[in-house]
Amino acid sequence: MTTTPHLSEALKRIEPSRTTAMTDRATELREQGRDIISLSVGEPDFATPANVIEAAKDALDAGQTKYTPVTGTMRLKQAAALHFKRDLGIETDPKNVIVSAGGKQAIFHALVATVSAGDEVIVPAPWWVSYPQIIRFAGGRVVPLITHAKDNFRFTAGDFEALITPQTQWLMLNSPGNPTGAYYPAEMLRLIGEVLRRHPRIMVLSDDIYAPLNYTGEPHATLANLCPDLAARICTVSGVSKSHAMTGFRIGVATGPAWLISAMGRLQSHSSGNPASISQAAAVAAFEGPQDFLDEWRERFRTRRDNVVGAINAIPGLSTPVPDGAFYCFVDAAPLIERFGDDEGLAMHLLDKGVAVVAASAFGGHDGFRISFAADDAVLDEAMRRIAAALA
């Protein structure tokens, strides 16, 4: 990374996102004429629903091209409150909803608005790349809560409680999770809730952005619904990026205690200002329009998951548990690592053989890589053939 005397201390504490770096690298190689399959990106390959596209066009035609209120239009906050109730079982007042430029910005604002030097944030590892970077940017200390493949990358309430100190300020919860697909069923969340009752200072950031992509057949479980007495300490983040294939629209929503939503709004008023007006109109259509296409998407993702997990586990030296949600497999390659030096060396070797994946260390893991199975079935088959050949 370039360092100059002008970089702030806060910026020096963080590195660029390694998932976007790998995706950019794959795009660059493709532009040079190389045949690269990118399984590094975290977005559904399905088309954005037609009613959403229509709503965006209608908003343009209606001249909705000006500033909106900083924290989102009341129309979208109402639609988001409907989504929180219908899809997550969380009762919220639209006044306690904030709309941001993606779930990422909502998380950034929640943490930067509340974390000070010395504060600790417990982050289950492997983690989504941005959590530790945002915490460090804010001046906080990342406390890794290591999870293992044998436990389907889930921690227990006891593991969590063992890491709590007087400095603990937040627990990050991401279910279904990126990069492992880990899903926390209601009984595990209730036990986590019991720990939280014993530690009244700790807040929870529940990142439910993958909620609709749950393959267990159970309804989505989330802490603010299961433990309503703790709701004043929970910030739940959701959005349309993953559920409605709207990654480019940049809309995320969050709900939580009024003081926190207001603090996030205060920061947003000086960072991006309002999220894009056209995207907000499109997100209303996403939340209020038909949701039945999700049944088909879930089925297609589940089939891809089963095929990819089967193919990975058939390659000598690779193994992965079956992810319960989202669209990622976190692959262990420990028996092969010596050949490549480290997991970055392995990822570079696979890139050279035509498949872009992201090294496990980018997510606080080790000796493996993450693949996204949000790609066409034939493309995934070819990618699995290339990985098998590259490691033979």
Interface residue list for ligand PLP (CB under 6 A): 42, 102-104, 128, 174, 178, 207, 209, 239, 241, 247, 252
**Closest CB 166 distance from ligand PLP, rounded Å:** 28
DSSP class of residue 127 equals -
Structure tokens at 269: 């008023």
What's the closest the beta carbon of residue 42 comes to ligand PLP, in angstroms?
Answer: 4
Nearer to ligand PLP, 247 or 313 (CB): 247
Residue 277, phi-psi category: left (phi > 0), alpha (psi -120 to 50), beta (remainder):
alpha
Rank residues 133 and 340 by Cβ distance to ligand PLP and give the closer one: 133
Structure tokens at 4: 């100059």
Query: In terms of CB distance, is 59 or 172 closer to ligand PLP?
Result: 172
CB of 328 to ligand PLP, least distance (A): 9
Contacts of 323 (CB under 8 A, 6+ apart): 152, 176, 180, 181, 182, 183, 215, 305, 309, 329, 330
Contact criterion met (CB below 8 Å) for 392 and 358: no
Q: Which is nearer to ligand PLP, 236 or 241 (CB)?
A: 241
- The smaller minimum CB distance to ligand PLP, of residues 184 and 340, is found at 184
The least CB distance from residue 287 to ligand PLP, in Å, is 14
Q: How far is the CB of 80 from ligand PLP (least distance, A)?
A: 13
d(CA 380, CA 239): 26
Q: Compare residues 45 and 381 and give the one whose CB is closer to ligand PLP.
A: 45
Q: Are 211 and 88 in contact (CB under 8 A)?
A: yes
Give the nearer residue to ligand PLP in terms of CB position, either 304 or 370. 370
- Residue 316 exposed, middle or buried by CB count within 10 Å (0-12, 13-18, 19+): exposed
Instruction: Return the number of the residue (133 or 174) whose C-beta is nearest ligand PLP.
Output: 174
Q: Cβ-closest residue to ligand PLP?
A: 102
Provide the minimum distance between the beta carbon of 10 and ligand PLP in the complex, in angstroms, as a whole number.
Answer: 20
Q: Which is nearer to ligand PLP, 337 or 360 (CB)?
A: 360
Shortest distance, position 327 Cβ to ligand PLP, whole Å: 10
Residue 361: what are its φ and ψ, rounded to 5°?
A: -65, -25
C-alpha span between 97 and 262 (Å, rounded) = 9
Query: Is the previous residue joined to 176 through a cis bond, with omega within 30 degrees of 0?
Result: yes
Is the Cβ of residue 104 or residue 109 nearer to ligand PLP in the bound state? 104
Report yes or no: 275 and 98 within 8 Å, Cβ to Cβ.
no
Instruction: For the chain, report the end-to-end CA distance as a whole number of angstroms.
Output: 34
Cis peptide before 323 (omega within 30 of 0): no
Specify the amino acid at residue 189.
L
Distance CA 147, CA 334 (A): 16
- Lookup: tokens for 73: 């239009």
Could you tell me if 387 and 377 are in contact, meaning their C-beta atoms sit under 8 angstroms apart?
no
Residue 129 CB, nearest approach to ligand PLP (Å): 8
Query: 47-61 b/e with 16+ CB inside 10 Å = b?
Result: ebbeebeebbeebee
